[in-house]
Structure 1
Amino acid sequence: MAKWDNMLSMIWMLRAGRKLTAAQIADSLEISVRTVYRYIDALCASGVPVVAESGHDGGIRILESFQEAPLFFNSVELKALVDAYKFAQGAGYPYTEELESALKKVENGLHEEQRDDLSRRTGGLDVISPARPPSVVPLLRDLEQAVNDGRTVRIDYRKANAEQADERDVDPYGLAYDRNEWYAVAFCHRSQAVRTFRVDRIARLEPTEARFEKPERFSASAYFRDQSARGREADGPLTVIRIEGEPDTLNAVCGHWHMRHYLTERTDREAWFLLDVPTMNKYLPMYLMTFGTAIRIREPLALKRRVQEMAAAIAQHYDIGTD
């Protein structure tokens, strides 16, 4: 068992209310008596009032004034907390300041050895933040509050390539972070349907007096999956699509807004998808051709032949001899 796990176990044992000898603790945790006393010193340095009394009726105990056991993390868990903060900051998480404050509280509870180890372990990872307008963070906070309160909000929203924003009332059901962008999934009163709104395209937001009931067990991520599924041409039959390529190229294929929902297995150089045949025939040949020779279709044979036919038709179209 790791050092900090053992120390936490010691606290739980001592909080049972009875005195224990160092030998009893050592036997229970399968460590040496000498290690038990080292752990006692470390706990006292961390603010845990552990008392070791000598004599016939002596033993080790925790003073009754101690109410809560401090949190103990191993080195990898501490690193994960710091790295998670970096990813949250890079994603534009609206409560980054609060997360940083919580992390500082954890770090303040560490002793010098832990802080030095944490600094060494977390120095090699950085998350590059995409450029976002400063208004996104307060918008995310206001939208989340509207989700929690069930309150309709009025927004000025500018669609892609639109010259100006238009006003609409929406009932925000949830937020989602997808492909480096934040989205609000909301019921739009104007279109009378659930829509997605990119948060950085919201020019203005204000709460209204209107209230709404969010659909039970609504999930923004499930909504995105459902929207992709609706783009399918048919319910079946399904076919396995196997594509080979360099890791970076496969990342692009697997990260496509539609294809990623049908990914079933992935290695560094191969990806497997499960998709209905009509959708495959309608969308994939042209899409996969954009990758040129950077990928290779391994199966199904029908998809390979369709891409060959399209490539041959394009080659014939640009045949210099026909000019």
Structure 2
Amino acid sequence: MDLGTFSGVRASRLVSLLLLLQNRGRLTAAELATELEVSTRTVYRDVESLLAAGIPIYGEAGHDGGYALVDGYRTRLTGLTAGEAEALFLAGLPGPAAELGLGSLLTAAELKLEAALPADLRRQARRLRDRFHLDAPGWYQRAEDAPHLPAVAAAVWQRQAIQVRYRRWQAPTQVERRLEPYGIVLKAGRWYAVAAADGAGPRTYRIGQILDLRPLDEHFTPPDDFDLAGYWRQHTHQLQERLWRDRAEIRISPAGVERLREIAVPAVLDAVAAATVDGPAGWRRAVIPIESLTHAEGELLRLGAQVEVLAPVELRDRIAATARDLAAVYA
């Protein structure tokens, strides 16, 4: 099949239409239009184009009619093995791909993967989508709105510099930056750009905090030794080290330990797991990392009477004062 005479968008749609018929059998024009997000008139024109290109499609009228490929016809559009194609279905992330502006490309890629599989493995690959789902945002959080994400993704792909107006937490709260975006990371529902700014080394920018973006007619080359995954590991490690600014000594009951597993971060859980038992009732004495006195107060109060703060004294006094205020409210 030669689609070289068609535009890139239409050629991609024609391939998708062909693969839909190959993978799913007979489909009506309305069903094809829904899958391809076009009008039925466009489907009719596309079918005519495929027929003109020598694709053996036939149509049947009536309630059970529709378009189908002649029995035995298959196109081979990938060189993937069945195992490779099956495994790649687990790598498809529809939500993030759509946010990056790649949703239609992912759909077309999955259709091509289906085409590479024998019938039995094709059914198994479809079951993967039925049984595994990725929900990137954390609990009780919405995915952050990042309207400039597709533009940042395009700049990453094309190695193109961008000029942005960026909102940050410290004064001045809005700054102008010329960025060379090396890569993009999705973490807990938020998108981050790893980019060099004004000749400095790479830093991390929340894409949802970009207020304005303008592509520049300038291209860049990242350092040869830059590794996005390695940078992100180091960045998160350093962030955690800066985050845990202090320590608190606590006693916690077995019930408190169970509750802690639902609300605490791994660093706190690890500290409690390594703690020694203090008393016959199974209470543990542990030294846990904390961000700040205010944050620790709020988190430890969630455990109620299942935890006792021993130190620092200021944190113990804060929690005691809050407990007295609560007792007065509920007296």
**CA deviation after TM superposition for structure 1 residue 180, in Å:** 0.9
Distance in 1, matches of 2:182 and 2:111, equals 32
Distance in 2, matches of 1:312 and 1:111, equals 67
Q: Does 1:85 find its partner at 2:85?
A: no
1:180 alignment partner, one of 183, 189, 208: 189
Q: 1:263 to 1:177 in 2, by over 3 A?
A: farther
Matches within 5 A, 1:49-198: 71-73=81-83, 78=86, 81-86=88-93, 89=96, 92-93=99-100, 95-127=102-134, 130=143, 132-146=145-159, 152-159=161-168, 166-189=175-198, 195-198=203-206
Distance in 2, matches of 1:278 and 1:288, equals 13
> Contact conserved, 1:153 with 1:170, CA < 8 A, in 2?
yes
1:220 alignment partner, one of 221, 232, 251: 232
Distance in 2, matches of 1:279 and 1:265, equals 9
Q: 1:301 to 1:155 in 2, by over 3 A?
A: closer
TM-score normalised according to structure 2 size: 0.50
- For residue 201 of structure 1, what is the amino acid of its counterpart? Q
Distance in 1, matches of 2:198 and 2:184, equals 18
**CA deviation after TM superposition for structure 1 residue 182, in Å:** 0.9
Q: 1:108 to 1:173 in 2, by over 3 A?
A: closer
Which SS does the other structure have where 1:187 is aligned?
A: strand
Q: 1:304 to 1:272 in 2, by over 3 A?
A: farther
- For residue 189 of structure 2, what is the amino acid of its counterpart? N
- For residue 155 of structure 2, what is the amino acid of its counterpart? D
Q: 1:113 to 1:165 in 2, by over 3 A?
A: same
| Unaligned runs of at least 5 residues, structure 1 | 1-44, 48-67, 255-259
- For residue 162 of structure 2, what is the amino acid of its counterpart? V
Q: Does 1:201 find its partner at 2:212?
A: no
> Contact conserved, 2:148 with 2:213, CA < 8 A, in 1?
no
**Alignment match, 1:38:** none
- For residue 107 of structure 1, what is the amino acid of its counterpart? E
Distance in 2, matches of 1:117 and 1:162, equals 54
| Unaligned runs of at least 5 residues, structure 2 | 1-71, 137-142, 276-285
Which SS does the other structure have where 2:238 is aligned?
A: helix
The aligned length equals 232
Distance in 2, matches of 1:240 and 1:212, equals 51
**CA deviation after TM superposition for structure 1 residue 163, in Å:** 12
Distance in 2, matches of 1:304 and 1:91, equals 48
Q: 1:188 to 1:89 in 2, by over 3 A?
A: closer
- RMSD between aligned residues: 5.1
Matches within 5 A, 1:303-318: 303=311, 307-316=315-324
Distance in 2, matches of 1:69 and 1:213, equals 31
> Contact conserved, 2:192 with 2:207, CA < 8 A, in 1?
yes
> Contact conserved, 2:248 with 2:288, CA < 8 A, in 1?
no
Distance in 1, matches of 2:225 and 2:191, equals 22
Which SS does the other structure have where 2:83 is aligned?
A: coil
**Equivalent pairs: percent with the same residue?**
16
Which SS does the other structure have where 1:197 is aligned?
A: strand
Distance in 2, matches of 1:187 and 1:308, equals 44
**CA deviation after TM superposition for structure 1 residue 213, in Å:** 5.3
**CA deviation after TM superposition for structure 1 residue 109, in Å:** 2.0
- For residue 191 of structure 2, what is the amino acid of its counterpart? W
Which SS does the other structure have where 1:289 is aligned?
A: helix
Q: 1:291 to 1:300 in 2, by over 3 A?
A: closer
Q: 1:142 to 1:109 in 2, by over 3 A?
A: same
**CA deviation after TM superposition for structure 1 residue 178, in Å:** 1.7
TM-score normalised according to structure 1 size: 0.51
**Alignment match, 2:257:** 244
Distance in 1, matches of 2:250 and 2:154, equals 42
Distance in 2, matches of 1:213 and 1:241, equals 50
- For residue 110 of structure 2, what is the amino acid of its counterpart? L
Distance in 2, matches of 1:121 and 1:84, equals 11
